[in-house]
């Protein structure tokens, strides 16, 4: 078990609201990630190999511990320097008794100090607005490292690499309002000012990060607008949780194979016996990371284009991905959520939907039960009829994409005819956070 030193925390100077620009320092004086401060700036760079194998993290030749060690070491350094809004390691956490094993956390600091939503919740796609908060406004000391593909297919680390402004680097930064240990943000092509919408390139980058970490306790999550994303600047979240998410343990039923009916490929299944309806995408032994990423990205783009809010959980070192359309914000707007649930002030985003219940009131934490967690998440889920309609829309898009690939005579992997058990990679014991 890793011992985390608890230190007094302060609000980062570069995350405060209303900080006046100017000062004696370079650029605007805030050491931000905008053009005013980027000239001559350097940050660590982790360069990953762009291998297409889904199960690369099982290869003993890969330096599996390095990204883990880098991320955790840099995150703890920022904790020591007081860059978080509160000490997340002081938050009470417990596993709720019951079959699913929901995890409850009492996080009053996140409720009081988290940045409020600044945009409409009824539109999944909205243009980027540079006048509102975005990640180029954070201080460079909040960035842990740049995360880019290597040029020679090997893992590389440069502790002091120039920022390629023209190339718009992808970066990993701390989440100053953390939910868990090691809570970070993956921000693809940060200088391009991309709104919160998944594309093929960004999702593939997230899968590479999951694969490079190679740790079963490290998951990435995504919230669309309308599904409780709070910042309209493209980003994924990630953190360590030392127990399985309940959704990872839920049974599934295979619905279809993506790209044919032979060996390997992508298997798409429906989640069963869980309060939120959703789909699970898994890469088979013969599939590539890009095959899996394309299937999920096509599905997410379909949801975005049809204004359907959704959440994504990237699990099992990038080999298992949950896509979860939801309607809680819509129900809130229509007055269809009970006062009892509204009083909890819980906004069920990807982590809550996956079974990590971040609670804001002590009374809710002390009285947490599987029944109450199920009742909340059931309000998040689409009805069975609506879910099947959405699945039909997604599969229509995927089949069209598949047909286009075939007509272009591009290489397409075959898929396994049956469901498979998702393999779990043993995590590093020193990264396991125990309660």
Residue-wise pLDDT tens digits, 164-190: 888 899 999 999 999 999 999 999 999
What pLDDT, on a 0 to 100 scale, did the predictor assign at position 356? 98
Tokens of 3: 């011992």
Q: Are 219 and 152 in contact (CB under 8 A)?
A: no
pLDDT at residue number 298? 95
Task: Give the closest residue to 414 by CA, choosing from 264, 284, 290, 289.
Answer: 264
| pLDDT of the residue at 219 | 98
Strand-pair category, 356-359 with 103-106: parallel
Domains in the chain, start-ordered, CATH in brackets? 35-431 (3.30.428.70)
Which residues are catalytic, by number? 235
Phi, psi of 95 (to 5 degrees): -90, 125
Q: Helix (H, G, I), strand (E, B), or coil: what is residue 94?
A: strand
Instruction: Write out the DSSP string of 185-211.
Output: EEETTGGG---S---HHHHHHHHHHHH
Q: How far apart are CA 30 and CA 166, in angstroms?
A: 21
- In angstroms, the CA 371 to CA 368 distance is 8
pLDDT score, position 404:
57
Contact 270, 250 (CB under 8 A): no
Work out the end-to-end distance of the chain between its first and last CA atoms, rounded to an integer number of angstroms.
10
Q: Which helix (H) or strand (E) element contains residue 324? A: strand 320-325
Secondary structure of residue 128 in the 3-state scheme: coil
**pLDDT given for residue 108 in this prediction:** 85
Query: pLDDT tens digits for 225-234?
Result: 999 999 999 9
Which residues of the chain are under the pLDDT cut of 50? Answer: 1-25, 56-63, 260-263, 409-435
Residues 216, 243 contacting (CB under 8 angstroms): no
Q: What is the pLDDT of residue 187?
A: 98
pLDDT at 78: 97
At 10 the pLDDT is: 34
Cα dihedral across residues 88, 89, 93, 99: positive or negative:
positive
Tokens 């000239």 belong to residue: 39
Angstrom distance (rounded) from CA 278 to CA 355: 14
Strand residue runs (E) in 207-292: 218-223, 236-240, 252-258, 266-271, 279-283
Rg (CA), the chain: 21
Neighbours of 263 (CB within 10 A): 14
């Amino acid at each position: 078990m890793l011992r985390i030193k608890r230190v007094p925390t302060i609000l980062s100077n570069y995350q405060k609201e209303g900080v006046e620009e100017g000062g004696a320092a370079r650029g605007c004086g805030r050491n931000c990630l905008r053009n005013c401060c980027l000239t001559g700036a350097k940050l660590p760079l982790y360069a990953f190999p762009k291998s297409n194998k889904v199960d690369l993290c099982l290869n003993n030749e890969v330096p599996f511990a390095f990204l883990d060690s880098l991320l955790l070491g840099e995150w703890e350094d920022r904790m020591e320097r007081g860059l978080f809004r509160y000490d997340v390691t002081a938050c009470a956490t417990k596993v709720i008794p019951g079959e699913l094993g929901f995890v409850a956390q009492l996080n009053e600091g996140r409720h009081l100090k988290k940045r409020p939503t600044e945009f409409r919740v009824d539109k999944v796609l909205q243009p980027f607005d540079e006048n509102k908060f975005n990640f180029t406004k954070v201080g460079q000391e909040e960035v842990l490292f740049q995360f880019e593909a290597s040029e020679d297919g090997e893992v590389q680390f440069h502790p002091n690499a120039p920022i390629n402004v023209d190339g718009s680097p992808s970066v990993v930064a701390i989440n100053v309002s953390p939910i868990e240990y090691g809570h970070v943000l993956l921000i693809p092509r940060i200088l391009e000012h991309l709104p919160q919408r998944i594309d093929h390139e960004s999702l593939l980058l997230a899968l590479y990060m999951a694969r490079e970490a190679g740790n079963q306790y490290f998951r990435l999550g995504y919230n669309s607008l309308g599904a409780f994303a709070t910042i309209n600047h493209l980003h994924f979240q990630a953190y360590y949780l030392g127990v399985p998410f309940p959704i990872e343990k839920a049974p599934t039923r295979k619905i279809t194979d993506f790209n044919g009916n032979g060996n390997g490929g992508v298997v798409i299944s429906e989640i069963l016996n869980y309060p939120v309806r959703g789909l699970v995408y898994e890469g088979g032994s013969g599939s590539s990371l890009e095959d899996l990423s394309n299937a999920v990205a096509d599905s997410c783009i379909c949801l975005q284009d049809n204004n359907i809010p959704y959440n994504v959980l990237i699990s099992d070192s990038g080999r298992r991905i949950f896509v979860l359309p939801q309607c809680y914000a819509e129900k809130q707007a229509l007055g269809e959520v009970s006062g009892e649930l509204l009083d909890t002030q819980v906004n069920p985003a990807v982590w809550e939907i996956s079974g990590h219940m971040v609670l804001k009131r002590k009374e809710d934490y002390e009285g947490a039960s599987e029944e109450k967690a199920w009742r909340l998440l059931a309000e998040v889920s689409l009805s069975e009829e609506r879910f099947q309609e959405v699945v039909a829309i997604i599969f229509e898009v995927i089949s069209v994409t598949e047909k286009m690939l075939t007509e272009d005579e591009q290489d397409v992997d075959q898929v396994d005819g049956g469901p498979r058990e998702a393999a779990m990679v043993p995590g590093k014991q020193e990264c396991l956070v125990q309660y």
